[in-house]
Structure 1
């Protein structure tokens, strides 16, 4: 067991690096953000001002080739995930890859095999497993209060009619669009809850005028006795429930998104925040069900979300004191579901696994 401080290098410092990685590395005892690579002047200035102890460099290879770096976070556009992660593993580095893992399952298999041969930790940043609402959903399902679950529906509703200028996610590139972006989170959560489905059916579209990348999807996953509906769109001005769960005893409905992202974008930091990730009462989900012959309705207090828990687990997995929570093999299955959903939409039919 080696519990020395883990020196972290971050390749790419866009929104993911600034909002979802750096603040939580700083909040994780035993991790040190040592190097950041970015060719963007504004991002470099932000890194200098907010993380003065980190060396800021322009070339990713200054991180990959640095023997002092133990863990690399690949937070680049999706098309660079595979080649950069492969280089990091070949250089003997543990790796966190920003979601989605890779563009296709073939790439994922290569990286998984390489990490296994090198005995390195390879994980994907599926931080939405640590959302307050998803943690609450897990407890609601396991409680049995809904009875036999028959339908699970979850939405990422957004209203962004204008295309974002100079954004790679808006371009017609492999791995672009919201199915790979938001969809990978929703699929990952479902696989955690229910495992792989028997069948996939999908309707994937481009709805905004002038858009080049997928901006709307409706994916249905079929399990024995259970239908899972995953939806996201950029032209939803009035969002519906984020989660809607139906069982033969009751229904659970949850509006609103986890509060951590908005807090981070507002400049709040998890370090030194005892109430971090706690939702206000007005956001708590509602349940209507039956228990021991009694009919009742009420609210379910949300579990606290905390993305720091992801990085604590990665640290402990590197130290050899805990099993990795987000495994690369699981993220590979998420990419497989995306591939099958695209096939289903293209061929206008259900596709079996």
Structure 2
């Protein structure tokens, strides 16, 4: 497969659930959000409330401080201390969508409870600890005819959308190597479950930022067949990986070199993509996360997802972009709101999920293989992902 061809079809798709039966065709879909930490407060709550056709109805957190924060930010939203309250709501009081943005260890049990109750579900990445668990959730959604999607917002990063456009246009030629870096300089540990070494917490950067860079590589270049990885604990007292490298070989022959790190004192390019005709180099992270953290909101604070011209990537050959080589390429604006717009459209019309559980499962195939590779110092072969039923 020529990597300059259009983006591959999804790795597998599930049966499309039937559209929701709402009281009126125009009634907003009521959303329950489980978790109000980083993911819930910075990403999900603002994006849900910015989406036409969705309304944040209930927020679940047992933390008094976060309950107070939620009441201040969303005075009309109901607060619940336990997710069990969501499953118990019946008939006209039932929710139309549950978003799970709680710690990683809770994703599978909460998603299982929601699907069993017949509630459509969005789960923050990673969907599960293992690909097998992810496929079990996908199968449960199939059996119950219930919508299930995974929040992979980095598919709507500005640089990723720009690269997809360049690949579709064939401007790079046949892709030989894709380099992707999600690096930070955080030399001091922050604590919390994300940095825990306890296996049940599913902490560490491999499953955190690694979920993003691996997912992006799979969307761009298709299934992975081989993985080599190096995971390290660099910071004093670190329990989980904080500096990790993956080399992924795709079925079409493209090689992806993926870096995630909290210990990078000098940041590398976000993307460096090398093709037979030209290369594309892009520095700097998409600005949407920073904007959301600062309280800016899509639809209210425009222009959304734009970045200044001096941050645009450069396309060319034989010259360094740092010395002005290549041609500036306008960065496509980032569009995180597109994810929940697609969710709302799928729930209304019975269409496909914007990110499927089967896609998330193959991402987990790669992450699991990376763990084995790093532990044993070997290259790990990955079987072709099974097709959806």
Q: Tell me, yes or no, whether TM beats 0.5.
A: yes
Choose which of 273, 282, 291 in structure 2 pairs with 1:254: 282
Aligned to 1:56: 79
Q: Secondary structure at the match of 1:146?
A: coil
Secondary structure of the structure 2 residue equivalent to 1:214:
coil
Q: Say if 2:312 is the partner of 1:316.
A: no
Which residue number corresponds to residue 148 of structure 2?
Answer: 122
Of stretches 76-85 and 58-67 in structure 1, the one that deviates more from structure 2 is 58-67
Give yes or no for contact 1:145–1:289 (8 Å, CA) kept in 2.
Answer: no
Is this contact kept in 2: 1:112–1:122, CA < 8 A?
yes
Moved more, 71-80 or 267-276: 267-276
1:7 aligns with 2:34: no
Instruction: Give CA deviations for 1:265-290 in whole Å, capped at 9, x if unaligned.
Output: 11111132331011111111011149
Aligned to 1:84: 110
| Structure 2 runs not aligned, ≥5 long | 1-18, 319-324, 383-389
| Offset, 1:322 | 3.4
Q: Report what 1:193 is aligned to.
A: 220
Q: Greater CA deviation, 269-278 or 80-89?
A: 269-278
Mapped contact 1:219–1:341 kept (Cα < 8 A): yes
Q: In structure 2, which of residues 187, 190, 193 is the aligned counterpart of residue 168 of structure 1?
A: 193
Matches of 1:226 and 1:317, distance apart in 2: 32
* Corresponding residue to 2:306 among 267, 271, 278: 278
- Structure 2 counterpart of 1:227: 255
Residue number in structure 2 paired with 1:325 = 354
Q: 1:345 aligns with which of 356, 374, 378?
A: 374
TM superposition score normalised by structure 2: 0.87
Q: Which residue of 2 aligns with 1:301?
A: 330
Residue deviations 1:72-100, cap 9 Å, x none? 11111111100111001111100000100
Q: How many pairs does the alignment contain?
A: 347
CA distance in 2, matches of 1:176, 1:195: 26
Residue in 1 that maps onto 2:12 = none
C-alpha separation in 1, matches of 2:227 and 2:255: 10
Matched residues in 2 for 1:109 and 1:322: separation?
20
User: Relative to 1, partners in 2 of residues 1:225 and 1:88: Cα closer, same or farther, differing over 3 Å?
Assistant: closer
* CA RMSD, 1 decimal: 1.4
Structure 2: distance between partners of 1:64 and 1:125? 21
Tell me the residue number matched to 2:209.
182
Instruction: Tell me, yes or no, if the aligned pair for 1:64 and 1:91 is still in contact at 8 Å.
Output: yes
Regions of 4+ moved over 4 Å: none
Structure 1 CA distance for aligned equivalents of residues 122 and 198 of structure 2? 22
Larger RCO (CA under 8 A, 6+ residues apart): 2
1:65-144 mapped onto 2 (5 Å cutoff): 65-67=88-90, 68-144=94-170
Q: CA deviation at 1:321?
A: 5.2
The equivalent residue for 1:293 is none
Give the one of 237, 255, 260 matched to 1:210.
Answer: 237
Q: Is the CA contact 2:111–2:121 (under 8 Å) kept in the aligned structure 1?
A: yes
**Cα-to-partner distance string for 1:50-82 (whole Å, 9 max, x where unaligned):** 111110111111122223212111111111100
Alignment partners' CA distance in 2, 1:316 and 1:195: 26
How far residue 347 of structure 1 moved from its aligned partner, in angstroms, is 1.4
